[in-house]
């Protein structure tokens, strides 16, 4: 295949996205026969089938999945290019899309992104929260420009991206005055079997805390766990348990 026909690729990609030739034909406003013919031409140029028929439907082949992955990048980049050119021609702000892992405190995310807000008057920052794996998937197809995370890219995730450490902070344990009165022992003995509010197991902070409890010979009594750091602090403020937070946020938490 010396030259790729992008019209053929678009028809294939739409069929893969929609799940059938008929639905793709509705989206593209073409006759199903036209799309089927273009698919056949693309398969002939590649030399491998892209779909197999299963009953009355279509199932994508292994080769088709590889082609679909590249098509995802090609057409998402095309959409990004169109949007960028349109924004610049209209004088609209440049959009900087940032993914933020749920476990990162909101104040730290703001402090990290604050310089970006001052860089350009025409800059607009769009923030999205999700798990690291989900955000990296969006980064891979260029839906995000940056991901803020509390841990590096896992070795099991195959994505073309780079890690850069932007900052670090010690960790502190907080508790309401009423809770501290019930556990008057010196730190860290006061945490032994005391109610704890913790991040969920998938968070890097949770693993570090568990190791710290073990090293100090303390029994964990986890009464609740959270995917969202802001919700964890709301429960902590209500006195439901001791909870961890970065020391740089001490004044705000207190």
Q: How confident is the model at residue 242 (pLDDT cuts 50, 70, 90)?
A: very high
Q: How confident is the model at residue 2 (pLDDT cuts 50, 70, 90)?
A: low
Q: Which region among 30-44, 108-122, 224-238 has the lowest average model confidence (pLDDT)?
A: 108-122
Q: What is the 3-state secondary structure (H, E, C) of the chain?
A: CCCCCHHHHHHHHHHHHHCCHHHHHHHHCCCHHHHHHHHHHHHHHHCCCCEEEECCEEEECHHHHHHHHHHHHHHHHHHHHHHHHHHHHHCCCEEEEEEEECCCCHHHHHHHHHHHHHHCCCEEEEEEEECHHHHHHHHHCCCCCEEECCCCCCCCCCCCCCCCCCCCCCEEEECCHHHHHHCCCCCCHHHCCCEEEEECCCCHHHHHHHHHHHHCCCCCEEEEEECCHHHHHHHHHCCCCEEEEEHHHHHHHC
The structure tokens listed for 94 are 């440049």
Q: How confident is the model at residue 123 (pLDDT cuts 50, 70, 90)?
A: confident
Using the predicted structure, report yes or no on whether residue 25 has a pLDDT greater than 90: no
Q: pLDDT value at position 150?
A: 85
The end-to-end CA distance of the chain, in Å, is 64
Using the predicted structure, report yes or no on whether residue 159 has a pLDDT greater than 60: yes
pLDDT digits (tens, 9 = 90+) for 39-98: 999 988 888 899 988 877 788 999 999 998 888 888 877 877 777 676 665 555 678 899
Percent with pLDDT over 90 in the chain? 32
For CA atoms 64, 66, 71, 76, the dihedral sign is positive
Give the domain ranges of the chain. Answer: 6-72, 93-168, 171-253
Q: pLDDT value at position 155?
A: 79
The topology under which CATH files domain 6-72 is Arc Repressor Mutant, subunit A (1.10.10)
d(CA 36, CA 210) in angstroms, rounded, equals 56
List phi, psi (to 5°) of 239: 85, 20
Return mean pLDDT, the chain.
87
Question: What predicted TM-score, i.e. pTM, was given to this entire model?
Answer: 0.57
Pick the CATH number of 171-253 from 3.40.50.2300, 3.40.190.10, 3.30.70.1230, 3.40.50.720: 3.40.190.10
pLDDT digits (tens, 9 = 90+) for 170-221: 999 999 999 999 999 999 999 999 999 999 887 878 888 999 999 999 999 9
């Amino acid at each position: 295949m010396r030259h790729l026909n992008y019209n053929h690729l678009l028809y294939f990609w739409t069929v893969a996205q929609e799940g059938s030739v008929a639905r793709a034909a509705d989206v593209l406003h073409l006759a199903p026969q036209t799309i089927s013919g273009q698919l056949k031409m693309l398969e002939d140029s590649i030399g491998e089938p892209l779909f197999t028929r299963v009953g009355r439907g279509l199932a994508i082949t292994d080769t088709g999945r590889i082609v679909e992955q590249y098509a995802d990048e090609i057409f998402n980049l095309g959409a990004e290019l169109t949007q960028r050119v349109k924004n610049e021609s209209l004088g609209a702000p440049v959009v900087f899309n940032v993914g933020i892992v749920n476990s990162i405190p909101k104040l730290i995310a703001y402090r990290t992104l604050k310089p970006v807000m001052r860089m350009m008057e025409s800059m607009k920052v769009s923030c999205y929260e999700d798990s690291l794996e989900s955000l990296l998937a969006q980064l891979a197809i260029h839906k995000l420009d940056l991901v803020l995370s509390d841990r590096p890219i896992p070795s099991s995730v195959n994505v073309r991206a780079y890690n850069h450490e932007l900052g670090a902070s010690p960790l502190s344990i907080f508790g309401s005055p009423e809770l501290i009165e019930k556990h008057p022992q010196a730190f860290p003995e006061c945490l032994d079997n005391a109610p704890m509010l913790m991040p969920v197991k998938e968070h890097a902070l949770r693993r570090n805390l568990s190791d710290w409890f073990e090293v100090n010979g303390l029994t964990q009594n986890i009464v609740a766990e959270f995917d969202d750091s802001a919700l964890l602090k709301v429960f902590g403020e209500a006195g439901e348990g001791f909870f961890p937070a970065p020391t740089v946020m001490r004044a705000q938490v207190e």
